[in-house]
Amino acid sequence: MSVPDTPSSAAALAGGAWGDAVIKFGNSFGAVAGFLAILLLVFFVAGRARGRLARPLAIAVFLGPAVLLLLVGLVVPLLRTVYLSLRNDDGTRFVGGENYGWAFTTESVQEVLVNTLLWLVIAPLAATGLGLVLALLVDRMRGQAVYKSLIFMPMAISLVGASIIFKFVYESRGPGQSQIGLLSQLAVALGWDDPPNWMLSQPLNTFLLMAVMVWVQTGFAMVVLSAAIKAIPDEVTEAARLDGAGGVRLFWYVTVPMIRTTVVVVLTTVMITTLKAFDIVRTMTGGNFGTQVLANEMYSQSFVQFNTGRGGALAVILFLAVLPLVAYNIVQLRKERGVR
């Protein structure tokens, strides 16, 4: 049987791909150029203004785009989400608080809320604590730049990439088969003949998923905390040493209080990342086996099961959970700025 895969059709395909790339490049280039042109025009007009109009116009020109983007990108979607959360699955009928009632009374969603809470407490504490310890240890080592880069490296990997790496680590085979996952192989090497199927062992699997987040975020915590530790004036540590403080006491009574605000900022930043993290759960278990979290359930309700009402309600709950963290973060940053 002849296959009509002539060189000419292959060439046409390749040409198509090139043409496509050129068009896409041209389009994005044109878009950027057009945007710059409009920006220049606006600046030009604003720059021409004189007299009483000058100041308000300048404010409008510089603040306008930011406010507009904030409205389009945050405020309007937020209002729309709240609106959708009060309506039925395809947004055609008002149902009041039904979706919120569903969220708090359904067994599977309660499990999701508990899991999210666990993530929120454990993952940031572990990442920040580990980061702090590493910052202290690595700061004293020779060639610290190398170690720091290595520890910081996972930060450069996307959460999906990190999840795929850990998926291989947690891979499991039944007894009698050769283990291909690192964790199972380690368990076997340590004399555990029949290690469990890690991803299926509740509640262990939730903590194993958190390990991915900790692995990625520890480097970030370490780098920021290490900078804060280095910023502690030498006189302070010197004085404390003269007073007889050393080791653990120096750490608890001098170092930690001096970097307290930084610790809080790191902790809340990781918390917010954790609340939003659905990629890990989505990649590793798809939310099955009792590992579901709020962000992933929201995505699943809205975009897999097409229930925008329930998805919206979960999004609002998530938003309300993040809000105090963000507010606290801002207050802390303000305080810190006040001190300096």
Partner 1 sequence: MTLNPTVSSRSSRRRLIAVPALLAALALTAACSNSSGGSGDGGGGGGQSLSGDCAKYQPYAGHSGTTVTMFASILSPESDNLEKSWAEFSRCTGIRISYEGSNDFESQLPVRVAGGNTPDFAIIPQPGLLAQMVKSGKVVKPPAGTVANQDRWSPVWKTYGSVNGTFYAAPMSANMKSLVWYSPKSFKAAGYEVPKTWADLMALSERIARAGAAKPWCGGIASGTATGWPATDWLEEVVLGTYGGEVYDQWVGHRVKFSDEKITTAMRTVADWMQNPAWVNGGYGDVKSIATTTFQDAGAPLLTGKCLMLQQASFYKAQWPKDTRIGPDGDIFAFHLPAVNPAIPSPVEGGGEFLTAFASRPEVQAVQNYLSSSEWASSRVRTATGWVSANQGVDKSLYTDPIDRLSADALTDPGATFRFDASDMMPAAVGSGQEWKSLTAWFAEGQSIQKTAADIDAAWPQ
Give contact residues for partner 1 (rule: CB under 8 A).
1, 3-5, 8-10, 12-13, 15-16, 18-20, 22-23, 26-27, 29-30, 33-34, 36-37, 39-41, 43-44, 46-47, 89-90, 108, 172-175, 177, 197, 199-200, 202, 282-283, 285-290, 299-300, 303-307
Judge contact between 280 and 142, C-beta under 8 A: no
Contacts of 179 (CB under 8 A, 6+ apart): 171, 172, 173, 185, 188, 195
Q: Whole-number minimum distance, CB 211 to partner 1, in Å?
A: 17
Task: Decide whether 149 or 305 has the Cβ nearer to partner 1.
Answer: 305
Task: Decide whether 199 or 259 has the Cβ nearer to partner 1.
Answer: 199
Q: Whole-number minimum distance, CB 119 to partner 1, in Å?
A: 19
Burial class from Cβ neighbours inside 10 Å (0-12, 13-18, 19+) for residue 293 reads: buried
State the Cα–Cα distance between residues 86 and 316, nearest whole angstrom: 11
- 3-state SS of 316-339? HHHHHHHHHHHHHHHHHHHHHHHH
Task: Decide whether 18 or 94 has the Cβ nearer to partner 1.
Answer: 18
Burial class from Cβ neighbours inside 10 Å (0-12, 13-18, 19+) for residue 169 reads: middle
Q: Whole-number minimum distance, CB 260 to partner 1, in Å?
A: 41
Amino acid occupying residue 306: F
DSSP class of residue 201 equals S
Judge contact between 175 and 194, C-beta under 8 A: yes
Task: Decide whether 59 or 141 has the Cβ nearer to partner 1.
Answer: 59
State the Cα–Cα distance between residues 206 and 210, nearest whole angstrom: 6
Tokens of 223: 């780098």
Task: Decide whether 19 or 257 has the Cβ nearer to partner 1.
Answer: 19
Q: Whole-number minimum distance, CB 171 to partner 1, in Å?
A: 8
Q: Whole-number minimum distance, CB 87 to partner 1, in Å?
A: 14
Task: Decide whether 119 or 299 has the Cβ nearer to partner 1.
Answer: 299
Q: Whole-number minimum distance, CB 64 to partner 1, in Å?
A: 15
Judge contact between 57 and 68, C-beta under 8 A: no
Q: Residue holding tokens 């979607």?
A: 77
Q: Whole-number minimum distance, CB 169 to partner 1, in Å?
A: 14
Tokens of 217: 């975020």
Q: Whole-number minimum distance, CB 46 to partner 1, in Å?
A: 8
| Dihedral of the alpha carbons of 10, 11, 12, 17, in degrees to the nearest 10 | 90
Judge contact between 118 and 206, C-beta under 8 A: yes
Task: Decide whether 201 or 261 has the Cβ nearer to partner 1.
Answer: 201
Task: Decide whether 198 or 220 has the Cβ nearer to partner 1.
Answer: 198
